[in-house]
Amino acid sequence: QAVVTQEPSLTVSPGGTVTLTCGSSTGAVTSGHYPYWFQQKPGQAPRTLIYDTSNRQSWTPARFSGSRLGGKAALTLSGAQPEDEAEYYCLLSYNGAWVFGGGTKLTVL
């Protein structure tokens, strides 16, 4: 089974920019992996921010953007806000089988 890797933790200053990445043990992440990004705050269900690499959900603030960068999926947060402090999970689809990354704990400090 494929392994999806994320940075365990990152810190960003308020108003700053940070990029979270999502790699695949099988090689480069492609559009065929339909990368997703989810935000989860303590005690809450995950919330989809990005699907299919770069599509925002209706509730996703414009400061979040998704892309592919250097063979990985990437989530860029531009202009971090205190409320963006959360756990972020990526997900890749392998012919319909979902594999989640281990999550990135993002601190806004």
Partner 1 sequence: QVQLVQSGSELKEPGASVKVSCKASGYIFSNFAMNWVRQAPGQGLEWMGWINTNTGNPTYAQGFTGRFVFSSDRSVSTAYLQISSLKAEDTAVYYCAREREGYWGQGTLVTVTS
**Which residues of this protein are in contact with partner 1, per CB under 8 A?**
1, 36, 38, 40, 45-48, 51, 55, 57, 89, 91, 96-103
Provide, rounded to whole angstroms, the least separation between the CB of residue 14 and partner 1.
26
Provide, rounded to whole angstroms, the least separation between the CB of residue 102 and partner 1.
5
* Residue whose CB is less far from partner 1, 14 or 32: 32
Residue 95's contacts (CB-CB under 8 Å, 6 or more residues apart) are none
Please answer whether residues 5 and 90 qualify as being in contact, where contact means their C-beta atoms are separated by less than 8 angstroms: no
Tokens of 79: 């202009």
Please answer whether residues 75 and 90 qualify as being in contact, where contact means their C-beta atoms are separated by less than 8 angstroms: yes
Provide, rounded to whole angstroms, the least separation between the CB of residue 66 and partner 1.
12
